[in-house]
Structure 1
Amino acid sequence: MIERPMRMTLSDVAREAGVSLATVDRVINRRPGVSSRSVHAVEQSLEKLGYRPDPIAAKLARRSVQRFCFVLPSGNNTFMRLLADQVEAARSWLESQRAFADVVWTDVFDPAALAQTLDHIDDSYEGVAVVALDHPMVRQAIDDLDARGIEVVTLVSDVPGSKRAHFVGIDNSAAGRTAATLLGRFAGGRGGPVAILAGSLSLRDHAERIYGFQQVLAADYPQLMILPVREGRDEGARCRAVVESLLDECPDLVGVYNAGAGNRGIAEALEGAGRARDVIFVGHELTPHSKRFLMRGTMDAVINQDPGHEARSAARVLMALGSKQAIVPDQERIRIDIFVRDNLP
């Protein structure tokens, strides 16, 4: 009896090349995001093993393998880097579910740049998770993806007026109200001005947080005067300059609420002015920087959302949408965490 030669699989190619199955898939389908070294290793393995694609298997794969793209903000936002790390960490699990995920970086503060990035999403992707600016150009780009049959999930910051299928993130109004309650209680009856910083008021999550913060502070802590919102574009240097200017203008500043990123710049400004102990500072996202400032006493509280839960939730939601399965609301609800120095993980 003559044995038929065993057909090589993509898993065999990945093992021979020393790369992931997702990398082999990208090389074969000529998709970006692979180093020249990895491309060469895969091509060498394909030739060595004599891999030939199975047309029938390829047709099945096109129907069953799901490809997703995460569009995240470029720049030095530490939380977004943590989110990208969690997307990377989820790749092996995604591969086991016959799904792949890529990460694309873009300037989400520039609506034209973000819209252009979304417009150039390849049709090989079945779903996109995007940290989005709530702007007409971005809404149109999301609607265009939907028209092309690509499911869109907004991540961290929502665009509710668009045809996005789902939002993955915390209740940002509740997060802002929580921040106001903490700052108001920490003030202990003191009166005076309170500063608010945002990355951009066009980011829905920042705008909703500020709305909730202002709502509670005005109703429950009328002795605290809310100053006009300043924008720092989530950049540490800009946030530092904003707070340095505020400290000069308002020597009696009671507190600072940062609705976005850039905590490091704010902390540096407070410490540099010798005001770290008397100005209450509440911000968002537990990063290595905010942990350090909580330990020093420069920050008083951090409102956090779990980037790992968000990355996995976005992937689960996109897979469910692609396979027409039900989304489990309790599983995908992102909770609000509160950290002070005494309960740091």
Structure 2
Amino acid sequence: MAHRFLIKEIALQAGVGVATVDRVLNNRGAVREQTKKRIEQAIKELEKQELYSASAGRKLIVDVVVEAPDRFAEEIKDALEAELPTLQPAIFRPRFLMRETMTTPEVVEALRAIAQRGSHGVFLKARDVPEISDAIGDLKQRGIPVVTTFTDIPLSGRIAYAGLDNRVAGATAAYLLVHWVGDKTGNVLITMSDERFRGEEEREISFRRALRTRQPQLTLIDASGGHGLDETTEKLVQNVLRAKTDILAVYSMGGGNRAILRALEAQGKTPKCYIGHDLDRDNIKLLREGKIQAILYHELRQDMRAACQHIMHFHKMLPASAVSHSSSVVVVTPENIPDHIAARFR
């Protein structure tokens, strides 16, 4: 395996021992395939970091642990990497663990491994369950700060949350939907990837409360639990639609919008209003096609900048007054897709 980095640099990036890296690079001894892939990934990460790292500054190794569909995980990674050159005097060295689905034991194991090998901080997108909260507390005791990103675990030992105000997002979705559907009566389909993602749960609670106040005649139909993945989301929506004759509107909080629309179209249902979250490739195309009326967007780069600054503040490299606020909710229609986002998906 060709490389130009010191073995100890690769070992630090991969989170494994120097001897393990030596065995992989020189094809000596038995090493698990998963470990080999992690070392290959570490070299690629170092190559990319070399492009935007300054020659001087304090290096901060941060672990990015994300459970999310690949399309959103890539957006998070791109946003963080785009911010790295702006974070002087720190030089952030991210190590990524991103999977579409992770069991609670897998997340806990990943956080325990980070605690054992050491880190300057963790950016975490995971479910709000006691086991994960306890693992965050263990990291805190070891002096490793955790910033929850995009979905919060507020009763843990995390030092901050960086991401959208999900209560505002849910209320905004209700406001838009009511103005689109008027005084009509009907069913509103809602979907979350997993109710234990607190961010989505907060959106749902806020949306439900606002809709009950504004238009109590609307009935919410729930097809949650698909993890934002197309196949499972489509099946859940299909099951719900078998029992319902009409869908007036859709509020998709957890992604999988192509799958939701396929299930609706298969039964000849065209909602009057469809509201989703996040500007990935699929959602931009659906906006342009007129199949989604609005996307609730937040600037991921600003959120990742805030997350990094919280870590810098923890390590006394930045005053609290210099930490950026997380991004605000922006309503995006086919007419105002941000140029810098649209350019990436042309």
Q: TM-score range by the shorter chain?
A: 0.7 to 0.9
The answer as to whether partners of 1:271 and 1:298 remain within 8 angstroms in 2 is: no
Match of 2:289 in 1: 296
The answer as to whether partners of 1:77 and 1:235 remain within 8 angstroms in 2 is: no
Residues 294, 38 of structure 1: CA spacing in aligned structure 2 closer, same or farther, 3 A cutoff?
A: closer
Structure 2 residue corresponding to 1:338, chosen from 331, 339, 342: 331
Residues 36, 245 of structure 1: CA spacing in aligned structure 2 closer, same or farther, 3 A cutoff?
A: closer
Q: Secondary structure at the match of 2:74?
A: helix
Instruction: Give per-residue Cα distances to partners, 1:122-169, cap 9 Å, x unaligned.
Output: 443111110021100000000000001101110100001011000001
Match of 1:234 in 2: 228
Match of 2:266 in 1: 272
The answer as to whether partners of 2:170 and 2:202 remain within 8 angstroms in 1 is: yes
The answer as to whether partners of 1:108 and 1:131 remain within 8 angstroms in 2 is: no
Match of 2:25 in 1: none
The answer as to whether partners of 1:305 and 1:334 remain within 8 angstroms in 2 is: yes
Match of 1:55 in 2: none
Between the aligned partners of 2:14 and 2:256, the Cα distance in structure 1 is 34
Structure 1 residue corresponding to 2:14, chosen from 19, 28, 31: 31
The answer as to whether partners of 1:152 and 1:166 remain within 8 angstroms in 2 is: yes
Is 1:193 equivalent to 2:187 in the alignment?
yes
| Structure 1 position 269, deviation (Å) | 2.1
| Structure 1 position 65, deviation (Å) | 2.7
TM alignment of 1:101-140, pairs within 5 A = 101-106=94-99, 110-121=103-114, 122-140=116-134
Match of 2:31 in 1: none
Residue 254 of structure 1 aligns to which amino acid in structure 2? L
| Structure 1 position 204, deviation (Å) | 0.3
Bigger CA radius of gyration: 1
Residues 329, 210 of structure 1: CA spacing in aligned structure 2 closer, same or farther, 3 A cutoff?
A: farther
Match of 2:313 in 1: 320
| Structure 1 position 77, deviation (Å) | 3.8
Between the aligned partners of 1:299 and 1:123, the Cα distance in structure 2 is 45
Instruction: Give per-residue Cα distances to partners, 1:188-220, cap 9 Å, x unaligned.
Output: 221111121111111100110000000111000
Residues 288, 98 of structure 1: CA spacing in aligned structure 2 closer, same or farther, 3 A cutoff?
A: closer
Match of 1:245 in 2: 239
Residues 132, 299 of structure 1: CA spacing in aligned structure 2 closer, same or farther, 3 A cutoff?
A: same
| Identity percentage of aligned residues | 25
The answer as to whether partners of 1:194 and 1:226 remain within 8 angstroms in 2 is: yes
| Structure 1 position 341, deviation (Å) | 1.5
Which is further off, 105-114 or 190-199?
A: 105-114
Is 1:164 equivalent to 2:169 in the alignment?
no
Residues 311, 244 of structure 1: CA spacing in aligned structure 2 closer, same or farther, 3 A cutoff?
A: same
Residue 201 of structure 1 aligns to which amino acid in structure 2? E
Instruction: Give per-residue Cα distances to partners, 1:282-301, cap 9 Å, x unaligned.
Output: 11111111111111121111
Structure 1 residue corresponding to 2:144, chosen from 128, 146, 150: 150
Q: Secondary structure at the match of 1:249?
A: coil
Residue 119 of structure 1 aligns to which amino acid in structure 2? R
The answer as to whether partners of 1:243 and 1:266 remain within 8 angstroms in 2 is: yes
Between the aligned partners of 2:13 and 2:167, the Cα distance in structure 1 is 43
Match of 1:97 in 2: 90
Between the aligned partners of 1:143 and 1:171, the Cα distance in structure 2 is 24
Match of 1:48 in 2: none
Residue 176 of structure 2 aligns to which amino acid in structure 1? L
| Structure 1 position 187, deviation (Å) | 0.7
Match of 1:213 in 2: 207
Between the aligned partners of 1:306 and 1:24, the Cα distance in structure 2 is 37
Between the aligned partners of 1:336 and 1:302, the Cα distance in structure 2 is 10
Between the aligned partners of 2:130 and 2:313, the Cα distance in structure 1 is 28
Between the aligned partners of 1:279 and 1:249, the Cα distance in structure 2 is 19
The answer as to whether partners of 2:309 and 2:318 remain within 8 angstroms in 1 is: no
The answer as to whether partners of 1:129 and 1:154 remain within 8 angstroms in 2 is: yes
What's the C-alpha RMSD, in Å, of the aligned pairs?
2.8
| Structure 1 position 274, deviation (Å) | 3.6
Between the aligned partners of 2:13 and 2:294, the Cα distance in structure 1 is 47
| Structure 1 position 338, deviation (Å) | 0.8
Structure 2 residue corresponding to 1:68, chosen from 62, 66, 79: 62
Match of 2:178 in 1: 184
The answer as to whether partners of 2:298 and 2:330 remain within 8 angstroms in 1 is: yes
Match of 2:33 in 1: none
Between the aligned partners of 2:71 and 2:85, the Cα distance in structure 1 is 23
TM-score, normalisation: structure 2: 0.79
The answer as to whether partners of 1:107 and 1:113 remain within 8 angstroms in 2 is: no
Instruction: Give per-residue Cα distances to partners, 1:68-110, cap 9 Å, x unaligned.
Output: 1111125x34122111122233344458623322111246652
